[in-house]
């Protein structure tokens, strides 16, 4: 991101024109390192985002809604106390630093003063600092000499600019001429020697050089070139923004608009990745727990593998008591089940009849264990299958709405703890995925709960589809009594394959009338049985 002094200078000019004379109506802090100011400009209310996160730092307008914490953090409370209702006198860049200052006229019933909110946009060193008469009143990130910092930032000390870099100020033309002599068109040298330029900005300056005085060209580009906001696209999605035209980029109305679109896309991806990790982690934990239980069941079953052998030994000992004597450590008897000789270990301290009872007792215990393990295994396999279906939905999710549907199911199943609602307003239910093909409506579930709901939504003659031997969404073609053309059936099958755990280009999709689909009682969400079906092999819809 070119959040360099070159870009911030143009951003400051835009913000100053838009905000000068406006008043701050509301101050929020939705994130740990982000504040938002609701400002009435005289014509409309705008939201100014002040973000000092290392990877997302910037000052720009945004219309995105964010949830605010129930209790405002300390710095937010400080700004509310001192800046609520303040008039914006000016937004400007500090020298040629990566710092924007917002000068504010603050008036109360008893006093009137000017305060400055500094927005330092410097990567991991980004910060928001409120001052009055050059003295710091508070900062979002504080630092003292005790922490080994070279710059003190806490209430009561004088505000000082960061230590200057060992680079040339581009406002000094003579210094530029001296430093850049013989390095015409060298973008890396320009970046290393001139302050306030990001590598991409230095490359653009070097590329645009067409001869003449190189130092004057550099200075004119930095201070005189017009602002041409562009979004850099990668795979059709915003990947960066610039204050100058770029090849294959997307022009924007303003630099703030370019930043907003870029950061919104970045935030959405970040939120999507975080939600995916959260859901996957929760479901994977359940799956691992069930896999561990299944391994324990297999271990106990292995311990009972000789149950039948113990029964046979007990029977043979009982049938041959007359041949046995107390004190024997083993015996070899005829096994009348297969005609072989069978060696049987004995406890010499026990009489023969007791030895037989020992084998019978062990057999009965193993038999009871196996009887208990059977339903336990069935239950564990059902839980494991359910967890795998949730992972399939998470993997196939096409966006945040799909993941939110899975999250709702996890809340409902008790896998995740549902957050406490702030209001009693009834939450709107998520809708099915809906498609249209040749006049036929096609619905697909976003989670197991919707898959169950889909069964109650359709009519007996509607066509129902599901991936064979894979976890997938349930798909319903609303026939309304009409015959379904092959093109519609194929399209619905491709949708089903797209939202399944199947891989490759030949996914088997079963389909049948809805009347042949039943949900057994007391089964997990999404589980059904069906018959009288046919199968298609399709490629997932892209």
Q: What is the pLDDT of residue 424?
A: 41
Q: What is the pLDDT of residue 233?
A: 87
The full length of the chain comes to 542
Is the distance from CB of 246 to CB of 232 less than 8 angstroms?
yes
Structure tokens at 23: 């008043």
Q: Which residue's entry shows tokens 């089940």?
A: 337
Is the distance from CB of 140 to CB of 128 less than 8 angstroms?
yes
- What are the E-state strand segments in 75-140? 87-93, 99-107, 112-120, 127-132, 135-139
Give Dmax (Cα) for the chain. Answer: 119
Q: What is the pLDDT of residue 247?
A: 86
State the Cα–Cα distance between residues 230 and 258, nearest whole angstrom: 6
pLDDT at 148 over 80: no
φ, ψ dihedrals at 81, nearest 5°:
-65, -40
pLDDT digits (tens, 9 = 90+) for 400-453: 888 989 998 899 888 888 877 654 444 556 689 999 999 999 999 999 999 999
Higher pLDDT, 2 or 139: 139
Q: What is the pLDDT of residue 11?
A: 94
Q: What is the pLDDT of residue 423?
A: 46
pLDDT above 90 as % of the chain: 70
Structure tokens at 481: 């009594």
Is the distance from CB of 209 to CB of 225 less than 8 angstroms?
no
pLDDT digits (tens, 9 = 90+) for 84-97: 999 999 999 999 99
Rounded to the nearest integer, the mean pLDDT of the chain is 90
State the Cα–Cα distance between residues 4 and 93, nearest whole angstrom: 11
Is the distance from CB of 104 to CB of 115 less than 8 angstroms?
yes
Is the distance from CB of 417 to CB of 310 less than 8 angstroms?
no
Q: Which residue's entry shows tokens 């305060």?
A: 115
**Closest alpha carbon to 27 in 93, 74, 97:** 74
Q: What is the pLDDT of residue 145?
A: 65
pLDDT digits (tens, 9 = 90+) for 49-68: 999 998 889 999 998 888 88
Q: Which stretches of 95-245 are DSSP H helices?
A: 173-180, 187-193, 199-207, 214-223
Q: Look at residue 24 and give its three-state secondary structure.
A: strand
State the Cα–Cα distance between residues 394 and 280, nearest whole angstrom: 7
Higher pLDDT, 505 or 242: 242
Q: What is the pLDDT of residue 425?
A: 46
Report CA Rg, the chain: 36
Q: What's the average model confidence in pLDDT over 329-347?
A: 92
Q: What's the average model confidence in pLDDT over 227-256?
A: 88
DSSP 8-state class, residue 34: E
Q: What is the pLDDT of residue 146?
A: 65
Structure tokens at 154: 């806490």
pLDDT at 314 over 80: yes
State the Cα–Cα distance between residues 479 and 477, nearest whole angstrom: 6
**Closest alpha carbon to 52 in 64, 36, 69:** 36
pLDDT at 381 over 80: yes
When pLDDT is cut at 50, 70 and 90, the band that residue 12 belongs to is very high
Q: What's the average model confidence in pLDDT over 454-474?
A: 91
């Amino acid at each position: 991101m070119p959040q360099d002094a070159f870009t911030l200078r143009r951003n400051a000019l835009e913000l100053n024109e838009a905000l000068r004379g406006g008043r701050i109506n509301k101050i929020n802090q939705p994130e740990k390192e982000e504040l938002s100011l609701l400002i009435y400009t005289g014509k409309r209310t705008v939201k100014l985002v002040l973000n000092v996160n290392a990877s997302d730092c910037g000052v720009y307008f945004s219309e995105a809604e964010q949830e605010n914490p129930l209790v405002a953090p300390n710095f937010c409370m400080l700004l509310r106390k001192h800046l609520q209702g303040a008039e914006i006198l000016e937004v400007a860049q500090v020298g040629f630093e990566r710092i924007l200052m917002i000068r504010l006229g603050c008036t109360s019933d008893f006093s009137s003063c000017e305060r400055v909110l500094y927005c330092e946009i410097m990567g991991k060193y980004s910060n928001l600092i409120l001052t009055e008469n050059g003295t710091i009143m508070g900062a979002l990130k504080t630092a003292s000499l005790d922490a080994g910092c070279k710059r003190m930032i806490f209430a009561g000390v004088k505000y000082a600019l960061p230590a200057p870099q060992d680079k040339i100020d581009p406002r000094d033309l003579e210094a530029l001429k001296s430093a850049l002599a013989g390095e015409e068109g060298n973008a890396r040298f320009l970046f290393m020697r001139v302050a306030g330029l990001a590598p991409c900005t230095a490359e653009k300056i070097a590329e645009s050089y067409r001869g003449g005085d190189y130092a004057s060209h550099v200075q004119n580009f930095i201070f005189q070139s017009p602002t041409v906001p562009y979004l850099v696209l990668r795979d059709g999605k915003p990947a960066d923004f610039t204050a100058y035209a770029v090849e294959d980029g997307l022009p924007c109305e303003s630099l703030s608009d370019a930043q907003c679109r870029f950061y919104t896309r970045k935030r959405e991806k970040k939120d999507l990745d975080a939600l995916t990790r959260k859901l996957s982690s929760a479901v994977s934990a359940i799956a691992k727990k069930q896999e561990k239980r299944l391994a324990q069941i297999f271990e106990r079953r292995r311990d009972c593998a000789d149950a039948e052998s113990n029964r046979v030994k007990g029977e043979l000992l009982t049938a041959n008591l007359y041949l046995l004597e107390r004190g024997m450590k083993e015996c070899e008897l005829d096994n009348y089940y297969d005609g072989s000789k069978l060696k049987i270990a004995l406890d010499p301290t026990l009489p023969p009849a007791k030895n037989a009872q020992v084998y019978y007792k062990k057999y009965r215990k193993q038999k009871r264990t196996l009887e208990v393990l059977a339903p336990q295994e069935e239950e564990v396999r059902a839980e494991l299958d359910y967890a795998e279906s949730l992972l399939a939905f998470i993997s196939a999710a096409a966006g945040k709405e799909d993941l939110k549907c899975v999250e709702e199911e996890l809340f409902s199943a008790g896998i995740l703890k549902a957050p406490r609602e702030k209001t009693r307003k009834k939450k709107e239910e998520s809708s099915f995925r809906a498609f249209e093909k040749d006049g036929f409506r096609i619905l697909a579930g976003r989670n197991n709960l919707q898959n169950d709901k889909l069964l109650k939504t359709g009519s007996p003659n509607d066509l129902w589809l599901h991936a064979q031997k894979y976890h997938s969404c349930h798909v319903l073609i609303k026939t309304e009594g009409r015959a379904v053309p092959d093109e519609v059936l194929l399209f619905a099958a491709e949708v089903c394959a797209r939202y399944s755990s199947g891989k490759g280009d030949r996914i088997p999709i079963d389909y049948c009338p809805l009347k042949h689909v039943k949900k057994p009682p007391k089964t997990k969400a999404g589980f059904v049985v069906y018959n009288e079906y046919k199968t298609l092999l399709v490629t997932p819809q892209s």
